[in-house]
Amino acid sequence: MRDFDENNITAAVIDRYQNTPDPRLKKIMTSLVQHLHDFVRDVELTEAEWTHAIDYLTRTGKLCTDKRQEFILLSDTLGVSMLVDAINHRFAEGATESTVMGPFYVQNPPEAAFGADIRGEAKGEPLYIDGSILSEDGKPVANAIVDVWHSDAEGFYDVQLPELEEPTLRARFHSDAQGRFRFWTIMPRYYPIPYDGTVGDMLKASARHPYRPAHVHFMIIAGGHETLVTHVFVDGDQYLDSDAVFAVKNSLIRDFTREAPGIAPDGKKIDTPWRKLQTNFVLSKVMAKKSAPAA
């Protein structure tokens, strides 16, 4: 076929994928071409705009390193990350809702004991977190892996601070026989996602702010259950309704209660005001895959 124009080129390109051996790849590429071509026709993209788009994606790729993933930020700020998360984590009713991983997770964080203090040298309002891991049937989940990480009182993660020699405000816990875990840290703060690159250019051009509401990240892994990646958001934060990455869900907002100086639940004496978060996480059981029908 020759003489392609704006009316027949889409069908011709899709036809080139008809012999794709992998049926899933065939479906993805066919849909991608269809939607991409429809988008170009819908906005009547100019050559200058397409050149700019290619340059934008090129610059985005060049910003990516082992410490920064600009494409994740782009996916997050376009709402794609949350859409993919929603499609892939349709948990059982009553299970804790998931949300995006974010760009600041570190594989194999340092192990910490039950009740440990993970503040390191970070300064801020003391925060005591007491949580439980439950299965969807309400039974406690023992020995679950609980990874936690969050920003400091200035809104920075440890990986953004090259002067730090040790991981700070991140750790790996294991739930006890009753499914509980607890630890000391400091209150997180709202913060801007990195906006000194191409994602920042997009946000500025569209009059959007780069801020995320204060939250603590959790990733919980337990045998027989779906892995849960989620946040707990601080109630009352000014950015709950305009999170730059669209990750806020009402069920994940908690009251980080204000406590007076005194004796904490773990017996520790606190001479200054402090905060407490008490929360449960309910894991969805892994659904058995349906076997193929007999021939």
Residue 147 CA, chain-centre distance (Å), reads 13
Residue 291 confidence class, pLDDT cut points 50, 70, 90: very low
Please tell me the predicted confidence (pLDDT) of residue 287.
Answer: 76
Domains of the chain: 9-76 (no CATH), 93-283 (2.60.130.10)
Mean pLDDT of the chain: 94
Please tell me the predicted confidence (pLDDT) of residue 2.
Answer: 82
Please tell me the predicted confidence (pLDDT) of residue 263.
Answer: 95
More confident residue, 250 or 67: 250
If you search the block for the tokens 């209150």, which residue do you land on?
187
Residue 45 confidence class, pLDDT cut points 50, 70, 90: very high
| Residues 282, 109: Cα–Cα separation, whole Å | 22
CB-neighbour burial class of residue 24 (10 A; exposed 0-12, middle 13-18, buried 19+): exposed
**Structural element, H or E, at residue 72:** helix 70-77
Residue among 132, 136, 135 nearest 146 (CA): 132
| Residues 257, 276: Cα–Cα separation, whole Å | 5
DSSP 40-63: HHHHT--HHHHHHHHHHHHHHHHH
- 126-174, pLDDT tens digit by residue? 999 999 999 999 999 999 999 999 999 999 999 888 888 889 999 999 9
Residue 243 confidence class, pLDDT cut points 50, 70, 90: very high
Residue 295 confidence class, pLDDT cut points 50, 70, 90: very low
Length of the chain: 295
Residue 118 confidence class, pLDDT cut points 50, 70, 90: very high
Residue type, 209: H
Mean pLDDT of the region 55-59: 98
Residue 290 has pLDDT above 50, yes or no: no
